[in-house]
Structure 1
Amino acid sequence: MTYAPSTAVGKQTAQQLADLTRTLYERGWMPGTSGNLSMRLPDDPDRALITASGRDKGELTARDVVEVDTHTGEAALTGQARPSAETSIHAAVYRVTGARAVIHVHSPYATVIAHRVGAHHAVAMLRLERFELLKGLGLENPAATHLPVFPNWPQVDRIAEDVAAHLTAYAEGPPGLLLADHGITTWGDSLNQARNRLECLESICQLLVLSQSEPHVSRA
């Protein structure tokens, strides 16, 4: 089934998701059917639209999204397509941070860093400091931060539980996270802000890879 928004706001939100998804695909950050984007409905913040599971991101349209509950991640309407496999992670971010948009992609440099520093059974904390681009993350102290890298459990709900617990404990942390061997997730007050933060973190990861410096990592 495809999504048929009943309001102009729903249609506009779905189109924003489709447009940005194709843009990120063209940058090589959402190859094949990988990655997922979501955004709260402006007229109903308890619900969000998220890209449907298994859709080719280079051909995504405004009808290839699913309406979900932002508290639970469960489908809010019957007869829809299956939501993204990582919907519960989006819901965890929405519940804890109050974000209005979430982006998860497999951008190459962030994924390389997630592969290098991620652990199989514990959250790794990657220290980022001195980079000018940290100012783009909206941090209280942009001089330094710790970017969490979560284990990529086969059970996505377990990842979501880890994310919710960590974000609750580290409320002043950056608006982003890595998944070991997997990719990066960012969020913000708008889809554009989430995208800008994604670009900042991906660029910082690129600089880390190109500098060939040893990442400073601790365990949470």
Structure 2
Amino acid sequence: MTAAPAAPTAEIRTNRVTRSLLGYGVLAGPFYVTVSVAQALTRDGFDMTRHAWSLLSNGSLGWLQITNFVLSGLMVLAAAVGLARAVPQSRWASVLVGVFGASLVAAGALRADPAMGFPAGTPDGPGTVSWHGVGHLVAGGIGFLCVIAATYVLARHQPRALAWYSRVSGTLFLAGFAGIASGNSAPWFTLGFVAAVIVIMTWLTVVSARLYRSLPCR
């Protein structure tokens, strides 16, 4: 008679939940970037050298980017909980990542204002700033600063190579954010921020994947 498989221990059950939460961190970046780039390449009048991805929340298909913000934010929030469980000695890093996730949800709820000729028919230039436009900018600014801080805080609890990777990712994102926040609309600043977003989302994927693999589940 074959013996029945042993029931998973409490630690294994806990690890399975933690891995599931971290799995959302692996998915969040590719999901957000893929949905954003797909729209940027297909939406009428959108120019990646001039328009920030936030502007995709406008127009008849704006609900796609709004949904992208909200779902990506919820996945980042789940990853933050997983991070807190996997690296309990770095609570601040998980809190900072959680704020970043919440900021993405808020950025979806608080739509960016039409500007720079997008959507089609919008006058060129910065346009009129509404209360929800201001809220979008504030939410984004807070979230960006928090995820930059998280890269440095978490680096203290990572192996040397990954610690350097975290710091470099945070620094590159800070540079891209500073460029776009300066108000300079030159194509290199806009594209630089796109690259910075990809860098920071890749960082979240890499960190989540590493922690995911480090937890035994059987």
**TM-score, reference length from structure 1:** 0.31
Higher strand share: 1
Higher helix share: 2
The structure, 1 or 2, with the larger RCO (C-alpha pairs under 8 Å, 6+ apart) is 2
**TM-score, reference length from structure 2:** 0.31
Larger Rg: 2
